[in-house]
């Protein structure tokens, strides 16, 4: 009887160890799932369609493009199709951008998102079909307001290029996203020596 009790106790001890070990393994797997390699889960611009059943943060930055001093027309209804209206789009052909961020899908809208929706190239080395070479450069300037752009005042050269964010926050407290009325001017031009 004593021997059987000892065996049962030993068996119980082994079972406890097995349970403990499998528990550690499970915790490890779960922790890896939670704390494993970081992934970007924010929605991509082409994954979200704006619907008017959602509350929307709606504001209007501007985009102007010049190639060798000539203005490039940005078409009407970029990002507006039968199937989907993307969170950045145009209605008019005057460079006015509509940013409409659904509260169900909060997104940072960047300059690159507009070019993605437009299906055109823009990065520090290429603007539309024009590529930087030894004689040409791409210069991006951000103006705080359209009036500043018209007057050529308060422009700041930006090297963020496509990563520039049309800010959706209202840090200055005027009741509208701070990216509203800001101007991004992108120029492809001869280098100034
Ligand atoms: Ca504001």
pLDDT per position as a tens digit, 141-175 = 999 999 999 999 999 999 999 999 999 999 999 99
Percentage of residues in the chain having pLDDT higher than 70: 78
For residues 127-148, give the mean pLDDT. Answer: 98
Same domain membership, residue 117 and residue 27: no
Chain-centroid distance of CA 47 in Å reads: 12
Q: What is the CA radius of gyration of the chain?
A: 27
Ion ligand 1: protein residues whose beta carbon lies under 5 Å: 170, 172, 174, 178
Same domain membership, residue 166 and residue 82: yes
Supply the pTM of this predicted model: 0.78
For the chain, the first-to-last Cα distance in angstroms comes to 100
Total domains in the chain come to 2
Same domain membership, residue 12 and residue 52: no
Least confident of 41-55, 74-88, 146-160: 41-55
C-alpha to C-alpha distances, 176 to 55, 57, 82, 165, 182, nearest whole angstrom: 14, 8, 29, 15, 12
Averaged confidence pLDDT in the chain: 88
Q: What is the extent of the structural domain holding 23? A: 1-39
Determine the distance separating the centroid of ligand 1 and the alpha carbon of 116, expressed in angstroms: 26
């Amino acid at each position: 009887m004593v021997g059987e009790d000892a065996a049962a106790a030993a068996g119980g001890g082994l079972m406890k160890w097995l349970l403990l070990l499998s528990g550690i393994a499970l915790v490890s797997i779960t922790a890896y799932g939670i704390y494993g390699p970081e992934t970007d889960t924010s929605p991509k611009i082409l994954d979200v369609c704006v619907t008017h059943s959602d509350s929307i943060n709606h504001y209007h930055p501007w985009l102007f493009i010049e190639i060798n001093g000539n203005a490039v027309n940005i078409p009407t209804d970029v990002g507006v199709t039968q199937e989907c209206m993307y969170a950045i789009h145009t209605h008019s052909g005057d460079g006015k951008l509509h940013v409409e961020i659904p509260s169900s899908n909060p997104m940072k809208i960047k300059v690159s998102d507009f070019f993605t929706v437009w299906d055109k190239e823009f990065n520090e080395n290429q603007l539309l079909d024009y590529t930087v070479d030894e004689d040409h450069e791409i210069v991006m300037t951000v103006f705080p307001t359209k009036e500043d752009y018209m007057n050529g005042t308060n422009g700041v050269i930006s090297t963020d290029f496509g990563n520039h964010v049309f800010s959706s926050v209202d840090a200055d407290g005027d009741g509208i996203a701070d990216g509203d009325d800001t101007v991004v001017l992108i120029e492809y031009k001869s280098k100034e020596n």
